[in-house]
Amino acid sequence: MIPRYQRIVYWILVGGILLMLLLLIYGCEHKHSRNLAMRDESRIAAPTDLPAQQVSLALANDADASIILDDISMPLPADPSLRARLILDRMFSDFALPASTHPLPSGKAVTDVFLLPLPLVNPGRESNDADAAQHASPYGHVHMPDAQLAVVNLTKSFADAHPSGIETEDLTLRAIIATLHANLPQVEQIRFLVDGQPRPTLAGHADLTRPYAVIDPIHSIHVLSAFGNPM
């Protein structure tokens, strides 16, 4: 016959063991989720002696389809094309973080960014400023004197792995446009390529066949005239 007090102690010990077990499981899961949230698969920046500069990165949010600009400091070279590519690399590495509000696949997203002067003219043709101005407004568009077209060359692996959907693809394009517009104000239009080739859509929805005019990238993009392609 087991005394009553021993049975009480026994069940109290069993309850304590179960409680400790539950606390242990909860603590492990909590720590695991925190580790996942803080996992940063972005590439480690190489040491450089370039001066750090203030840049603006567009942060997209799938919950409300919003874009906000966040200022950070990072070393940047003087070449505008290289600057644009590094800034976009940093933006996409932020999007690849597990806690991102606009989750995108990790890895290299942008191969190159080319900056071309606007309006685009035939390089084999002799043209003066008047001719260039004439070319500038065949559809009623007037470019700024130092206006540029940015050609963003995305990688095929990034485009193939991008989440498919109108909203998420549109937000990615808007984030690129807003980031370039904030850091390179001379960029007026942006065209997208994938591995150097034109592609109909990013991941099945967002149109990549037309250039995007950088008018108000936060609220509205792809402001085309009724004449269609303004190029």
Partner 1 sequence: VTRPPTPTRALLLLLAATAVAAQTATPPAATVHKPKPHPTKPLPPPYNPNLIVLDPAHGGQDNGANLGRAGAEKDFTLAFANRLSTLLTAKGFTVVLTHSDASDAITADQRVELANRSRAVACLLLHASAAGHGIHLFTSALTLPSIADAAHPDTYIAPWDSAQATSLSKSLHLVNELATALNGLRVPLIVARASVSPIDSMSCPAVALEIAPAAADSNIADDTYQQHIAESVVTALTYWRQHAQDQIAAQIAAQLAAQNPATPAGTSPAPPAPAAKPKPKPKPVIITAPDEVPLAPDNSTPPAKPAPIERKPPPRSTPPPSGPPQ
Where do contacts with partner 1 occur on this chain (CB under 8 A)? 62-65, 140, 163-168, 170, 200-201, 203-207, 210, 220-229
The distance of closest approach from Cβ of residue 223 to partner 1 in the complex, given in angstroms and rounded to an integer, is: 6
CB 116 within 8 A of CB 166: no
The distance of closest approach from Cβ of residue 62 to partner 1 in the complex, given in angstroms and rounded to an integer, is: 4
Q: CB neighbours (10 Å) of residue 23?
A: 10
Task: Render the burial of 158-195: b for 16+ CB within 10 Å, e for the rest.
Answer: bbeebbeeeebbbbbbbbbbbbbbbbbebbbbbbbbbe
Measured from the CB atom, is 124 or 228 closer to partner 1?
A: 228
Measured from the CB atom, is 77 or 200 closer to partner 1?
A: 200
Separation CA 169–CA 203 (nearest Å): 7
The distance of closest approach from Cβ of residue 209 to partner 1 in the complex, given in angstroms and rounded to an integer, is: 8
Whole-number Cα distances in Å, 10 to 2, 7, 14, 176, 231:
11, 5, 6, 64, 83
Measured from the CB atom, is 82 or 223 closer to partner 1?
A: 223
Measured from the CB atom, is 90 or 205 closer to partner 1?
A: 205
3-state secondary structure of 186: coil
The distance of closest approach from Cβ of residue 44 to partner 1 in the complex, given in angstroms and rounded to an integer, is: 29
